[in-house]
Structure 1
Amino acid sequence: MTTTIFDDASARFQSYLDRYAKGQEPLGDATRLRQWIIDHQADFASIMDCDLKSCAKIVYDFSRNGDVVIGGISDPARQTEIMWQQLADANAPVGIGRYREDRICYQSDQFKNDGEARSQHLGIDLFAPAGTPVYVPLDGVVHSFNDNNLHLDYGPTIILEHNPEPGVTFYTLYGHLSRESLDGLYVGQPVEKDHLLCTFGDFPINGDWIPHLHFQIIFDMLGKKGDYFGAAKPSEWDIWESICPNANLILQMPENVTANRSGQ
């Protein structure tokens, strides 16, 4: 989750800031692309074996420290044990980390630029055991991949590019994977809807987190390959929300998996 934006992408990001200052949608195509996804929700395959539209879940709040703590100096082994017990008690196959959540674990210097932390979550987290399979939601190609092997980074990561019809292009990101998930991949490799893409990684390979998938929709890669911003500065949230819309547009979970406007 590095912060470098290349020069041409910096100019694009500035154009988004300028559009927002004029009261416009920051990314001009965002409204059209979001609507395309909404109109084709029935066409997306489930990315997990469990049916996220109907299965039991625990939706976690990581905007404050509770029974389960992620990141920081927490012990992922102990926190995984606590979460798995909670999920077993609830007969829930998956735990959820919310979109737009302003997370306490992103307040360290690692996530700060100019004094402000990139603390507001741009994806949705799906917590389940290491080795859990992940499936392709829609035909596409491999845009890029990388092992982002810094502490509290993504670990192994895959980004897919989807071009379902002329004029419609967007990307999906899969972070915190097993290292084996990258085996045999190549840029431009076709991937088919509903086919196995990767598996959840375990700590410490996955960036040293409780095993989970970070799933994110992206409308502009901003020159990035194999890595992307997984959280935004709260002061820039409206810009990033236009670039990375709510991943639940694809996952379609009925629970409230989105934090309120303040990120809480």
Structure 2
Amino acid sequence: MRWLMLLFCLGLAACQPRPVKELPAVSASQSVAELYRLEREHHALSALADVTVTRQGKRWSVTQGVVIERPLRLRVDAINFLGQTLFQMGIDGPLLQAYVPAEKKFYTGMATLDNVQRFTGLPLALPDLVACLLYSLPPGVVESAQIIETAQGVDLVLAPGVRYETVFSSGRLSGFRYRIDDLTLYEVAFGPVSAELDFPRRIELDVPQSDTRVVIALDDIELNPVLSRQQFQLSLPATAEEVPLNEMEPVDDQTVEH
């Protein structure tokens, strides 16, 4: 009788379903192809952006007209709720110009991370910022990385411990994380992607080390408009004082809160 019971138990064990290995929603080759496509097809943008920055517990919002062009061009016109200009900023390659009407000052300098952040509140280096705002990874990442397939998308490994971890949803890029070992330098999430525009209407950026979170809601999106170099260059107003950016104080909450 015991041997019958033993055979019965063994039969039950054999019928137990084996754990199923989680498979990626899309293949690695499909994910990489999509990353290449986004970088290739999204080369410029014009939009109205409602930007909310939360930094070390402080929160402020501003409406900005933004114009972006690969690889290193950015124009920002920030206005208040009355429609008055708070500042204008133009970046053409390595050079940054900014005009603050309330101060009657025209700032010039290099487009460093610190200088870009003091006006926009966005704590990213210019190449990363332009790529992020154009719904893609920074330049050169996809081409030079080792590709590792994951359940959510692909990891793009640039060096030991240095990688971009991507997340895909329904075949579309929904976010990525830039990590060095266990440290997350920044994380980006893309909101609902308009099927008509092939572009997200919301971009969220988290930078844990500086306790900064940025939410960008986009409207009046025009993808790949025809742009000229002059759109990214400002003219010195006759009544403004020209000030080198290296004479400004380091970035703090007061310099980025307009």
TM-score by length of 1: 0.29
More strand by share: 2
Q: Which has the higher contact order (CA 8 A, sep 6+)?
A: 1
TM-score by length of 2: 0.29
